[in-house]
Every structure is written in C-alpha cells, then in structure tokens.
Structure 1
Amino acid sequence: MPKALLSDRRRHTHAIHRIAAPVPTVPQEYVHLRESDAILLTNWSALGSDRYAVTAQWPDGGVYGGSVPLLITQTIRQSALLIGHAELGVPLKHQTLMEWMDFNVSEDFYDPKNKPDNLFILLTCTPNNPRSSRVELSILSEGRLVAESLLDYSWIAPGAYRRLRGAYADAAWGTGVPPAPLPAHTVGRAHEHEVVLAPSGLPNRWELRSDVSNQALYDHRVDHVPGLVLIEAAYQATHAVTGPGRPPVRVMSTFDRYVEFDAPCWIDAAVVPAPDEGVVRVEVTGVQNGERTFSVYMDCAG
C-alpha cells in the first residue's frame, strides 16, 4: 500500500526570514554532480533543532529541459544530499541509497506563468540509525507552499558497497545500444533523447531505455540505473496511459533492488482505484529478471 504523505506544514514559512549567514556556493561533490549547470541549489543554512534551509533556482531550459517533475525530483534529491554531506557528517566517499521517496506538487505549479525564479526549501532531518535518515521537505515559491516531500535514505562505506555489489561494482558503462524510443509526444517529452521507454509489443508495458548520453539523468558514471531514471520512467509511463493534461500531483516511490544495465527492465503501468475524486491513480512497476525492482504510485489531476 502507498505511504501517506506529510500534512500541510505552512507553519514553517516564517523561517524564511530567519536564515543567518547562508553559505554562498554549493560544491558539486555535495550533490553528486559533475556538471555545474545541473546544480539547482544556491546556498544553505542551519536553523537549529535538526532543521535546515536551502535556496534553489530553476533555469529556463538547460539540461532538465524545463520538466517540472524532473526539476522537483532533482531539487529534492540535491537538497537531501547537500544537508547529509554538509551538516549531518555523511562522508563524501560513501554511497547513498534511496529507499523510498514521496512528494506532492500543487497542480497550478505546472502552469508556465507560475514558474519560479527562486525556491526556498525547508528540511527536517531525523536519524533512523547511525547510517540512515528521514528527511521532510517543504518547497516554497514566493512564500507559497508548492510541494512537500518525505524520504528515507541511507549510506554505506566504499568497502561494504563493493562487497554488496560484487561484480556489478565494475558494470560496463555506455557499451550497449538502447532500443528505439517511443515517440516523444506520447510520453510527455519534446525530444527523442529524453525518452526512457521503448516499445515491448504488449499494451501498457515498455522496456526501460538506459541511454547514458542523457545528461539530465546520467550526469556521471554509475554502476546501476539511478532512481531518478526510474521515477522519470514512471512519469513517462503514466503519461502514456492517461494522456496529456493530467500532471502528477502526488508521487509515492519505493525502491526494492538495483536495476542493472545487463538485462532488460520491463515497465508496467495500470490505472488503479484512487483515494480521492478528481484524481487518476496509476501504479507503475519495474521488473528485471523476474523480480520487482521498484514501484511508483502517481496520482494525476484532471
């Protein structure tokens, strides 16, 4: 069953006026990115009591192509990594593992006229154990709450990670040719290189395309398909099922196991009963080698 998202946290908006001496730059290694143009965050500050503030700017175009779902997930991802490394003492050489991530977005935030110049993110970080943390985020635009998120992530030392991954720690990178993509407009994308799904020959089932030349999803060499790619695959599959005009307003993601580069990963999507009127819920699952790798529920407006 999907997890419940956070309740409204507008009571935190007063903290906007209490940031003291923000750090002026965000090091690339703190957000695990090689390309500086991919960094959305601009500074951060500790507010006390395990609470932190982060500011962000969304570009007009660039590597993320103006995609609101992609920008939202990257903003959440980068904020959690930044505070983990900068404030919580997570070693830079450790591997971080996203266990699950939920978020919701105001429907009107998809309207181009509401595109923000600056975003303000409030985070509360609660340790689960010495190597895991729960992060709650509120994202505000011009003082208005436009998105919120709840996620768990953990970290693991390099030696332990190599033992965990075994031969996959040295997985080949960029050697295979991804299958031909679906038409971009059918999955809510403008360009073919942005498409992460390929036809399977079956209705509502697609093969995941691992095109490492897509810099928005593959900024640097990794040994498995990143979780960001899987959420993007879920978004595109949802769009293929529901059609245009139904932006996702609530996303609930669970990651069960790594998606590898050496075998097909099949993406299935189905409309399932929704908890609220006026919402279409799509369940998206990934299956590789006969085992579920991840699942995403997307509630779409319209």
Structure 2
Amino acid sequence: MHAGVAADVADVTVGGAVGQAVGGALGRAATMDVEPIDRRLVHRVAMSEVYLTGSGVLGPDDYTVHAQWPRRHHFFSPERRGGDLVLAAETLRQAVILTAHRYYDVPLDHAFSMRGLSVELTGAGGGHALVPTEIDIRVGIDGVRSGSRGVTSFRAHLTFVHEGVVVARGTGDLQVLDSRLYARMRPTAVRSDALAPSSPMRRGVRLVPVASGTRPTWLVDMDLEHPVFFDHPLDHVPGMLVIEAARQAVDAVRGESGLSSSSFEGTFLSYLELDRPVLVSHVPGDGAGPPDDVLLAVHQDDRLAAELRLR
C-alpha cells in the first residue's frame, strides 16, 4: 500500500475508539518502510494463519516487524488476560523466518530448524478488545554465521510492543539448511499426508497418561490434519505443537488449567518423527529457576529430543 493511500484511509472517520485504532494502525504503517508479507516467507499456506503485516529496516542487523493478532481465533486465545503464549511463539517463529528470507537472502526452498526458542509474556497484553491487536516487533540479530551458500545460523532477539507497552519478549536460535543437505539428513522421514488421518482435535494435541516409573509421563496424540499445526504437509512434529503439548502437561502437573503459563524456554536437540511415539515427562526441579517452574523432557525412541521449562 502506498503511503498516500494509507494516509487517506487513516483519515476516514470510522467512529469512536474503533476509528482511532484503525486510523492509528494505518497511519503507523504509512510511516514505515514496509513491504506486504508473502505467506511463503513465513512458511504458511493459509492467509488466515499469517500474523505479520509488514517489516522494515532500522539499521544493520536491526529490523521492525509489524503483526496483528485477531480479537478471537478458532485455536489461539488472544482474548486471554496476559496473552496467549503459543500465539506469541508462533508470531516469533514467523518473524524470525521472515527476517531470514527477506533480509539475509535465504532462498525459499531452504529448511529452518529452531534449535532454541524462548518466549515470555509480561502480563500486559491480552484481554477483551474491540479491534485486532497491533503489535510492533523489534528484531535484533547477532551471531550470524555464513558458509559458501549463504547464512547458516543466527540468533534473534525480539521485543513485542503494543501501544508503547512491552507485552512479550523472546529469542530464537535459527539454523538454516539448504534443500540438498536437508534431504540427505532426513532420507526416511515420513510426511503427515502419508499417514492415516487421526481424530480431529480442537487443540491439535491430546496427552494420554502412560505408566513410566515415578515420573508423570504422557503420550502425545496429535491431529495430523490440524489447520494450525499442519497448515501444509510436514515431515516432522512442528515446534509449536510441542509447545502446546508442554502447556497441557504443565496444566496436568499443576492440576489447575485456569492458571496459564506465561513463559517458555526450550532446547530442541533433534527432529521428532511423525510415525513414532512422542513422550513428554515431568522432570523434578533442578533448583536453577523459580520454584514455580515446570521442567519437561521430550523423548522419542528412548532418546532425549527436547528439554523444556515453563512458568
């Protein structure tokens, strides 16, 4: 959208707070050096699942990304007081991938792996809204590594701001894999569309308790056709699904699903395959964090695949 067009639209009187919010959002977009978001740049097929609306350059390795969170959603709960942890994580994922493609020239056919990811809600976001929530995200990049075929990894630091107030912070450790290397690494991976459909689940994930020594452990039952987690066929369990499973595991540990998790920190050690069982276990506290932290371990084939900490 050209700046002049945006400014003209922003001047239209819509009425009351709604008009001010719409005008403010469009006016802010008019002052940014933004380009429309191609859904391929965030690895999405459904336009409804793209939460980014623009981006710009602030300086070397310093960027701004604009996002819009819906008032309500068929899966996420943006109206939840304090915000939705998984929605923030998905927005972070999209912002990091967009930055890699748009500003570090990573080709569209390359694969990404987020080896480390953290998100913290400040408690200032969420709640009832009359219009979608406009989010300005500051993205700082460091630790950039490059090879003969371009960027191979970097670390992103993100700050989410709504109306001048920080509502979330996060980091992402991105690894970039060119298509040939990815194919060599995963020659036997099975895609979700090659497996038998599972029962539809609104949350996309259901935890099934299993007997496993003294630790509470759950089998992750997943909906391989879920419109959020499997927006398109995948050959691995998506990280956002793991975060949702972790959130449900924390609810089970605390025994009070009404107390929402406000932070997530995860280290992902390997891909999780779709055609083999995935187990999530509660790990006794290590004393390294606050007493209300919940530690989880994700295993597949008796191998540790991820370590997670939620609060």
1:1-302 equivalent positions in 2, closer than 5 A: 21-66=32-77, 68-112=84-128, 117-130=133-146, 131-168=152-189, 170-171=190-191, 173=193, 175-178=195-198, 192-202=201-211, 204-242=216-254, 243-270=256-283, 272=285, 273=287, 275-276=289-290, 280-299=292-311
Query: Would the alpha carbon gap of residues 86 and 217 (structure 1) be closer, same or farther in structure 2, given more than 3 Å must change?
Result: same
SS of the counterpart of 1:161? helix
SS of the counterpart of 2:71? coil
Percent identity for Structure 1 against Structure 2: 25
Do the aligned residues in 1 keep the contact of 2:201 with 2:223 (CA within 8 Å)?
Answer: no
| Residues 96-115 of structure 1: per-residue CA shift (max 9 Å, x gap) | 11110112111343544699
Cα distance in 1 for partners of 2:209, 2:131 equals: 36
Aligned position for 2:3: none
One-letter amino acid of the counterpart of residue 257, structure 1: S
One-letter amino acid of the counterpart of residue 275, structure 1: G
Query: Would the alpha carbon gap of residues 172 and 33 (structure 1) be closer, same or farther in structure 2, given more than 3 Å must change?
Result: closer
Do the aligned residues in 2 keep the contact of 1:223 with 1:260 (CA within 8 Å)?
Answer: yes
Report deviation, 1:265.
Answer: 0.7
Q: Unmatched 5+ residue regions in structure 1?
A: 1-16, 181-190
Query: Would the alpha carbon gap of residues 64 and 22 (structure 1) be closer, same or farther in structure 2, given more than 3 Å must change?
Result: farther
Aligned position for 2:81: none
Report deviation, 1:41.
Answer: 0.7
State which drifts further: 114-123 or 220-229. Answer: 114-123
Structure 1 length-normalised TM: 0.82
- Corresponding pairs, count: 270
Do the aligned residues in 2 keep the contact of 1:64 with 1:70 (CA within 8 Å)?
Answer: no
One-letter amino acid of the counterpart of residue 289, structure 1: D
Do the aligned residues in 2 keep the contact of 1:274 with 1:280 (CA within 8 Å)?
Answer: no
Report deviation, 1:62.
Answer: 3.2
SS of the counterpart of 1:44? strand
One-letter amino acid of the counterpart of residue 122, structure 2: S
Cα distance in 2 for partners of 1:115, 1:286 equals: 38
Do the aligned residues in 2 keep the contact of 1:174 with 1:212 (CA within 8 Å)?
Answer: no
Higher gyration radius (CA) = 2
What RMSD, in angstroms, separates the aligned Cα atoms of the two structures?
2.5
Do the aligned residues in 2 keep the contact of 1:44 with 1:52 (CA within 8 Å)?
Answer: yes
Report deviation, 1:144.
Answer: 0.5
One-letter amino acid of the counterpart of residue 108, structure 2: L
Report deviation, 1:90.
Answer: 1.1
Report deviation, 1:204.
Answer: 2.6
Query: Would the alpha carbon gap of residues 200 and 244 (structure 1) be closer, same or farther in structure 2, given more than 3 Å must change?
Result: closer
Q: Unmatched 5+ residue regions in structure 2?
A: 1-27, 79-83, 147-151
Aligned position for 1:10: none
One-letter amino acid of the counterpart of residue 233, structure 1: A
Do the aligned residues in 2 keep the contact of 1:59 with 1:66 (CA within 8 Å)?
Answer: no
Do the aligned residues in 2 keep the contact of 1:40 with 1:75 (CA within 8 Å)?
Answer: yes
| Residues 65-99 of structure 1: per-residue CA shift (max 9 Å, x gap) | 32512210111001101111111111111001111
Cα distance in 2 for partners of 1:109, 1:128 equals: 31
Cα distance in 1 for partners of 2:76, 2:249 equals: 18
Do the aligned residues in 2 keep the contact of 1:50 with 1:126 (CA within 8 Å)?
Answer: yes
Cα distance in 2 for partners of 1:19, 1:99 equals: 35
Do the aligned residues in 1 keep the contact of 2:85 with 2:120 (CA within 8 Å)?
Answer: no
Cα distance in 1 for partners of 2:85, 2:154 equals: 24
Cα distance in 1 for partners of 2:277, 2:218 equals: 10
